[in-house]
Structure formats: C-alpha cells, structure tokens
Amino acid sequence: MNARLRSGMATLALCAAGLIGGCVTFEQSPVSRYHCDAALIGDWQPAKTEALKRPIQVAADCRVRWPEDDGGTFETTLRSFELDDARYLAFTPGEADRLMDMDGDLVKSAPAGSLLLARYRIDGTEMKVWLADPEAALEPDANGKAAARKLEDRFAHVEGNRRATAKLLRERGEALFRTSQTEGMTRFTRITTDTTP
C-alpha cells in the first residue's frame, strides 16, 4: 500500500483507502443518466493529512485530474446522481481499482459491468465521502435478507436491477454507507474554484 493510501486519501468523492477493509460493488446503477455536479468543480486537498504536491483538480465538465505517486496523473470523469437528498458518484471497477491502488484486485473480483458507488456531502469548502461498508451490506434486514452476497473476503456485491438498487439506497443508504459515523469517512477541503491552468 503506497503513501497515497496510508495518508487516508481517497478518490475525489470515491473512496477512503483501507478504512472499511473492502469494497461493495453494485450490479446496476439506480439511475439511467448521470450529471456533472457543479459543486465538485475546483481544486481539492485531503483534510488533516499532508498536502499533496499537486491538488486534485475537477474541471467544469467534471473531468478529474488525480495526481499519482510517480508524478503522473490519472484522469477520469466524475459521474454524479442524486436520490432524494443524497448525492452519489459512480465508478467502474477499473477506475476504482486505479484510484485506490488495488493492483487489479477489484477488477478481478467484481462482476463485469458492475459499479462502485460513493456517497458524498459538500458543505461550503468541505466535502465528506463514504464508501458502502461490506459488513453492513452483508447484514440481513428485518426480513432476514442481506443487501449483498460475498464475493471474496474483502468484497461484497449487490445484485438487482435499477429499480431495486434505487429502493435499496433510499431505504438503507444511511446504514450501508454509515454516514452517521466518522470512521470510514474521508474529508476534503476545497482550496480554489478556479481550475484554469
């Protein structure tokens, strides 16, 4: 695990490395279309850790430039959606694997076409990000049914179509992402809204 993960960094509105011991993937997105959340635009630094030499940059079209340890930059597009008042980002296993520096583990384990979702909240210059907790996803609900099935020791997979996924997030989103807890949460601070080179 490299310094990026040890410092508690995560993909912008995607993940906090090593905080929940695994990942949850979803068979289908709960929405048919994504959008670019203007609240994400700007330059960001992880809060309460050593500042990055280069900030995480999100352009007006939600194209994110993520600085890597070797001096390179990983680029992808942040795909946002909202359910009720909750904001989410969707990532492919390949994107999540690269951003979490998982050496292909997620790509190898996640079913084809699945997604990793992150829940986020922005208040002024601060952003809080949560990943779904595999343990929470595997816990049975009041009817004795778990939201996910176990893939490997570190992964859980939520099966279901778009409607079922949306229903799950609306009814159990707070519990799945443990948004009432600070453990497993990553904070970012916006340092500027100007992304002009």
Beta-carbon contacts of residue 108 (< 8 Å; ≥ 6 apart): none
Instruction: Name the burial class of residue 129, with classes exposed (0-12), middle (13-18) and buried (19+) by CB atoms within 10 angstroms of its CB.
Output: buried
- So what's the pLDDT on residue 144? 66
In a domain, 74, yes or no: no
Residue-wise pLDDT for 119-136, tens only, equals: 999 999 999 999 888 888
Q: For the range 64-73, what are the long-range contacts, defined as Cβ-Cβ under 8 Å and sequence gap of 24 or more? A: 64/11, 64/12, 66/11, 66/12, 66/99, 68/4, 69/2, 69/3, 69/4
d(CA 126, CA 114) in angstroms, rounded, equals 29
In this prediction, residue 27 carries a pLDDT of 92
Residue 60 falls within a domain, yes or no?
no
Residue 62 lies in a domain: no
Asked if residue 52 is part of any domain, the answer here is: no
Domain count, the chain: 1
Q: Is residue 94 part of a domain?
A: yes
Does residue 20 lie within any of the structural domains? yes
Residue 146: partners with Cβ closer than 8 Å, 6 or more residues away: 137, 138, 139, 140
Task: Give the domain extent around 164.
Answer: 3-37+79-188
Residue 109, pLDDT score: 74
- The segments of the chain whose pLDDT lies below 70 read 1-22, 48-51, 100-106, 142-144, 152-154, 193-197
